[in-house]
Chains A and B, each alone.
Chain A
Amino acid sequence: MASKTVRLRPPLDADRVRGLRAGDRVLLSGVIYTARDAAHKRLVEAHDRGEPLPVELSGQVIYYVGPCPPKPGQAIGSAGPTTSGRMDPYTPALIRLGLRAMVGKGLRGPQVVEAMKQYGAVYLVATGGAGALLARRIKAAEVVAYPDLGPEAIYRLEVEEFPTIVAIDAQGNDLYAEGKRQYARQA
């Protein structure tokens, strides 16, 4: 199936997300939130204790990134994706809370894909290591939770046409597996 380019602005509903297919280009605009290892641990532990979360996740997008500090005049420093798999132990719980999309890079585990299929969520990837380029699509950044974590704090980002590709869709189709199959040589 031919891939398409889709423009999305959170909050996202399940139907919209289920219409995306692995290989589609998604340009994100509006508000997204950052979280990486330490913030994920705190979010899930807070939820397990029955405490309210510092950000409402329903319909939202989490970008796995720990940005560089901004230089004077910049909204944010370099800000490319980090490896998503480290968030796998926490991700199904956040998807159950309504998280609709994750932006990162790298492989995901089966328990994450199962939760994505069950609740309607999508895994987007941005180009890892292109932090200077991607930072240009981030127009504003503000710490909204866990400031003591420094680069691992939760930021609220305002993005404009932030470029991503659907790596794993809500049906479980996986662009990593497809791409590798297409280009592998028989040993």
Chain B
Amino acid sequence: MREIRVSEVADAVRDLCIEACYDLPPDVVAALQAARDKEESPLGREIIEELLENAAIARRDRVPICQDTGVVIVFVELGQDVRLTGGSLEEAINDGVRRGYKDGYLRTSVVDDPIFRRINTRDNTPAFVYVRLVPGDALRLWVVPKGTGSENMGGMKLLTPAHGARGIRDFVVEVVDRAGSNPCPPVVVGVGVGGMMEQAALLAKKALLRPVGRPHPQAEVAALEAEILEAVNGLGIGPQGLGGRTTALAVHLETAPTHIGALPVAVTLQCHAARHAERSL
């Protein structure tokens, strides 16, 4: 049994919030550079160049890449041989978010009640936390600040088995097409297939944690990702939706077992500021 103090988790979350919002990950930068070199639209190339310059300024001046520093999604893989001490894990994560958003001069974007009051909590809590118990004695954290411009354009459809891979492709293309310029293309498309509704949605989000453009380890899934990417980039939406070949930088698809009569598909769109940061404790 290994002991980890929850204050260590809080400190890590604080740092990861700031790091994610200031430093566009190298995989995303590389994907943008590759897209710039391939983009046929002159305006599209100019926009991608601006995004790269923006990322460089944010990194150098220690300021947020985008003002929508998002809600904080935290994925935790908790080794079952870890004993957490010194308080509640969830409170520690929220404490980390609170400090990260204050110390990093990040925008607070959470409202307390979604329907009636909609009052800003002013410290960007609560974080949206997903904990999974795994073997071992490590604790691994992923912090994903997620903005709403892209989030609002996601979609879900409960397909049936007869729809198959083609139905999945067509639905993803439909979601990206309808989104148009709203999610700040070029986007990363997270797709979750299988499980039930809630699992498909969570898989789609987790698909965003994969380094941008790294194909799925299973060959037939990777081939479907490539096919969907080509179809999406044929839409012509382009950087910022002003026309071009680069509508998406990557399509990441994750699967899970499902019911004999089901084929749920969830699609989440991540803007080009595909922020994620991780740390193991």
Contacts and interface: CB of A to CB of B under 8 A. Distances in A.
Contact of B50 (A70, A82, A127): A127
A67 B105 CA distance: 10
Contacts of A149: 120
Nearest to A69: B105
Interface stretch (A4-12, A51-59, A111-119, A174-182): A174-182
B108 interface: yes
A171 interface: no
Contact of A184 (B54, B58, B61, B236): B236
B149 A82 contact: yes
Interface string B133-166: 0000000000000001100100000000000000
Contact of A183 (B41, B54, B61): B41
B47 to A, nearest CB: 6
Size band of the interface chain A makes with B = 35 or more
Contacts of B107: 66-69, 77-78, 151
Nearest to B22: A132
Given A130-B51, A130-B54, A185-B234, A85 B182 contact: yes
A106 B180 contact: yes
B173 to A, nearest CB: 9
B276 interface: no
A36 to B, nearest CB: 10
Contacts, number: 164
B278 interface: no
A127 B63 CA distance: 17
Nearest to B244: A183
Interface string B40-81: 110100010011011101100111111111000000000000
Interface residues of B, number: 50
Contact of B184 (A71, A105, A151, A180): A105
Given A38-B118, A85-B182, A106-B182, A65 B67 contact: yes
Contact of B241 (A136, A152, A176): A176
If over half of B's interface residues share one DSSP class (helix, strand or loop), that class is named, otherwise mixed; here it is loop
A19 interface: no
A135 to B, nearest CB: 7
B35 to A, nearest CB: 14
Interface in B67-126: 67-69, 105-109, 118, 120, 122
Contacts of B209: none
Nearest to B63: A132
B64 A179 contact: no
B272 interface: yes
A77 B242 contact: no
Nearest to B43: A179
A2 interface: no
B180 A71 contact: no
Interface of A: 38, 65-71, 74, 77-80, 82-83, 85-86, 105-107, 125, 127-133, 135-136, 149-152, 165, 167, 175-176, 178-185, 187
Nearest 9 Cβ contacts at the A-B interface: A179-B243, A184-B236, A183-B236, A185-B234, A106-B182, A128-B184, A131-B67, A133-B54, A130-B54
Given A149-B120, A182-B41, 17 more contacts: A70-B105, A78-B58, A80-B68, A105-B181, A105-B182, A105-B240, A107-B180, A128-B181, A128-B240, A130-B66, A131-B66, A132-B66, A135-B67, A151-B108, A176-B242, A180-B241, A184-B236
